[in-house]
Structure 1
Amino acid sequence: MFGLTPEKVLLIAVIAVLIVGPERLPLYASRFAQFIRWLRDLARGAQDRMREEMGPEFDEVDWKKLDPRQYDPRRIIKEALLDDEPAPVLSAPSVRTRAEKPAVQQSHRSRLESGEYSGPPPFDAEST
């Protein structure tokens, strides 16, 4: 719990008792208990709302798998590199002059999506 050992918690409690004093200690203890109950109800309400909005999929989610402490960048990169299918070998496109280019061209994205364009991304030597 936040790196606190039982000895540290006990020391904090003793200091709090000395600072607050025996007269106000029951009042602060009851307020602290109410605050803890309020936090617990808030968390339970959020969980119930998520279960209600997600439906049956909420129980199927593996929440431990989504824990950010389990993310290892090396493992993620390794899995991403090994899971992908090998990239197709691209042939070099023929170089055309400006006069040889057709007047109306499809966008590069549509050509890539249709599979018509299989070369490397276009390069404009005049732009740099």
Structure 2
Amino acid sequence: MFGISGAEAIVLIVVALLVIGPERLPEYAQKLKDLVKAARRYASGAKDDLRETLGPEVTDVDWRRLDPRQYDPRTIVREALAEVDQEDAEEKRRREREEREAAREARKAEREAGGSGGGSTAATQTTSLVRLAPGQRAPFDSEAT
């Protein structure tokens, strides 16, 4: 408070009491009480004027959430990197999904081309496809899965 320590404040109060004296002390105590009340009324009025001027939106704001002292730069960087990692993972999943869909479409086109009897170049280029007779089951490859 004004750069005065506790001990200095006590010394100032004692000196003021000695200077004022016991006969004028009640009068000055009353003036101090009136001054404190006036300061409170002034602060309350200023607060009400500010609320009225800024509108009802200001009362809904959580000012503690906006306090810059609560932000830790390490946390901000960590969260930003986590968001980037999450976006990269989502992008990778989307690309993989598109690649699977494209491969599925290619296999479907090969089956349609192979089933019609006309030898398509796409069907002849892939040697890993095995044509099965109706009712025949595909062999199980335990190392492939």
Please give the TM-score of this superposition, normalised by the length of structure 2.
0.41
Find the structure with the greater CA-based Rg: 2
Structure with the larger helix share: 2
TM-score by length of 1: 0.46
